[in-house]
Amino acid sequence: MMMKTFGVLIALFSSAVLAKPIFETTTEEKTGGWPAVSRTLAGLIIGFDADLKSQADEEMADKDVKAGDYQLLFASRKLPLSADRKTFLLVRPKSSPYFQTFYGAHTFFHWIVDDQNRILYAGNADAFRVLGSSRHGMKDIQQAQCHGGKCYLVKYSFKAGKYEETSCSTQDIDSNKVTKGCTSEPAR
């Protein structure tokens, strides 16, 4: 398992060099030092998906964490998404305390929120990047889903107030070769 994780990370970092991201975070990244989110924003994030909220509530009860104390679960980073320097945040689960609800085998949930607390994007991936390219005044983003010896690099561009998928490339983990298109549908 450790070797597979190492291989996935090598593939992700090598593709990051090719794509020249201006921000990147991965599942294994520690969030110590990341600012906490407000109580309001934590409530918005947890309320975005009823199933996720239910699972989080159950895990909080199992761990004797005060019910409704969602602020404890999330951390954020300011994102350089627009030329006009508006504030955008990437919100993700904290690495400590660790809550399995927000992680997959090697993925993590993440959200982009604007300064009005509107969720512009919600994802669950091995890696999240802000790219140097942009459309409609906002930087493009990319998430990587890795499984079965391949990483699916899905690019999203901003349109009509939200991020929409614009392309997908497949990267072979062993060779690091990247090809346009996805040879099989990535998990989302």
Closest by CA position to 184, among listed 146, 143, 155: 146
How many other CB atoms are there within 10 angstroms of residue 11's CB atom?
Answer: 25
pLDDT tens per residue, range 137-172: 999 999 999 988 999 999 999 998 899 999 999 999
Among candidates 162, 167, 163, 169, which has minimal Cα distance to 183?
169
Q: What is the mean pLDDT of the chain?
A: 87
Sign of CA dihedral 27, 11, 124, 139: positive
pTM: 0.84
Whether 17 has a pLDDT exceeding 60, the answer reads no
Range list of H helices, the chain: 2-19, 39-47, 50-62
Q: What would the pLDDT profile of 23-45 be if each residue is shown by its tens digit?
A: 999 999 999 999 999 999 999 99
- With contact defined as beta carbons under 8 Å apart, do 73 and 46 qualify? yes
Look-up of token digits 């994102």: 79
